[in-house]
Amino acid sequence: MKFSYSAVWDDTAAMIRAHGSLIAALAGVFIFLPSLLLAYLLPQPVVSDPQQLVPAMTEYLQANWHWLLIENLLNMVGVLAILRLALPDGNSTVGGTIAAAFAILPFYFLANMLSSIILVIGLVLLIVPGLYLSGRLTPLGAVIVAENRRNPIDALRRTFEITKGHGWAVFGLVVVIAIAGMIVMLVVNGLLGVIFRLVAGAEIGGFLTLIIGSATGAAFVAVLTTLYAAIYRNLAAPASARVFE
């Protein structure tokens, strides 16, 4: 089976057009708001001496790990809900989508932990294996949602099955989209941040900059999540799964 960048991106765009307002709402509640609250109430330490960065971040993580965990879990709910919208099974109401995301969360969390361990092992082995494995593991969440695989080991096995022979291709596509997205985020956040501070002052301008940063970050995650759904659809069921064309 040929893995087509253009087909995957076209499918991503089609899903965003079909569910754009709901995706934006889910990303706003579960990704944007937690990110903004954490950035405003628990800002990361700023140090002038690079040698103090690691101790400062270690202290920050030790003091706030529980809030960071809650934010991460809420982000996961948002990701799962967006995947549920993108990979419909006949129950795509907002309430049903969110309820299904919470029901899947424990299994997705465990699968994510296992995949992170695999990636760390791969990165330790001269980095290249880790990059390849990241491509192989990209559609893990989509596999769990689309095929209702509650067993993390089974979900990982299925993910490796559908990405066989396409690890580098999937990795390359994600890198291209991620780099483009990060460039846009840097430009938008940097430009608007300067404008806000000049117009509104340091305090209000800084808060507005936090809002923009959280909003662009949430949009970035939403687009990548929809991309992962399209990658799954291209690899697992390219003919029957494209319902938005």
pLDDT tens sequence across 171-223: 999 999 999 999 999 999 999 999 999 988 888 998 999 999 999 999 999 99
User: Within a domain: residue 32?
Assistant: yes
Task: Of 132, 140, 76, 77, give the one whose Cα is nearest residue 114.
Answer: 140
The predicted model gives 150-154 an average pLDDT of 93
Backbone torsions φ then ψ of 32, nearest 5 degrees: -65, -55
Residue 237: the pLDDT is: 66
Rounded to whole angstroms, how far apart are CA atoms 74 and 213? 18
Domain count, the chain: 1
Would you place residue 155 in the very low, low, confident or very high pLDDT band (cuts 50, 70, 90)? very high
The pLDDT confidence band at residue 1, using thresholds 50, 70 and 90, is: low
**Domain region containing 93:** 5-103+163-236
On whether residue 99 sits in a domain, the answer given is yes
Is the CB of residue 4 less than 8 Å from the CB of residue 173? Answer: no
pLDDT number for residue 232: 95
Of 82, 80, 99, which is closest to residue 15 (Cα–Cα)? 82
pLDDT digits (tens, 9 = 90+) for 77-94: 999 999 999 887 655 678
**Mean pLDDT for the stretch of residues 218-236:** 95
The percent of residues above 70 in pLDDT, for the chain, comes to 94
Q: Dihedral of the CA atoms 183, 111, 160, 1 (nearest 10)?
A: -60
Mean pLDDT of 93-103: 88
Structure tokens at 59: 């202290």
Q: In whole angstroms, what is the distance from residue 188 CA to residue 175 CA? A: 20
CA angle 40, 45, 46 (to 5 degrees): 110
pLDDT confidence band for 239 (50 / 70 / 90): very low
pLDDT of residue 124: 80
Q: Is residue 203 part of a domain?
A: yes
Q: Please report which confidence band the pLDDT of residue 44 belongs to, taking 50, 70 and 90 as the band edges.
A: confident
Q: Decide if 59 is inside a domain.
A: yes
Whether residue 155 lies inside any domain: the answer is no
pLDDT of res. 202: 85
Task: Specify the pLDDT at position 94.
Answer: 80
The answer as to whether 52 is a domain residue is yes
Cα separation, 222 vs 206, whole angstroms: 24
What count of other Cβ atoms lies within 10 Å of the Cβ of residue 121? 12
Residue 55 lies in a domain: yes
Is it the case that residue 242 has pLDDT exceeding 70? no
Q: Is the pLDDT of residue 167 over 70?
A: yes
14 near 240, Cβ under 8 Å? no
- 60 domain residue, yes or no: yes
* pTM as predicted: 0.89
Query: What is the structure's pLDDT at 92?
Result: 63
pLDDT tens-digit series, residues 27-41: 999 999 999 999 999
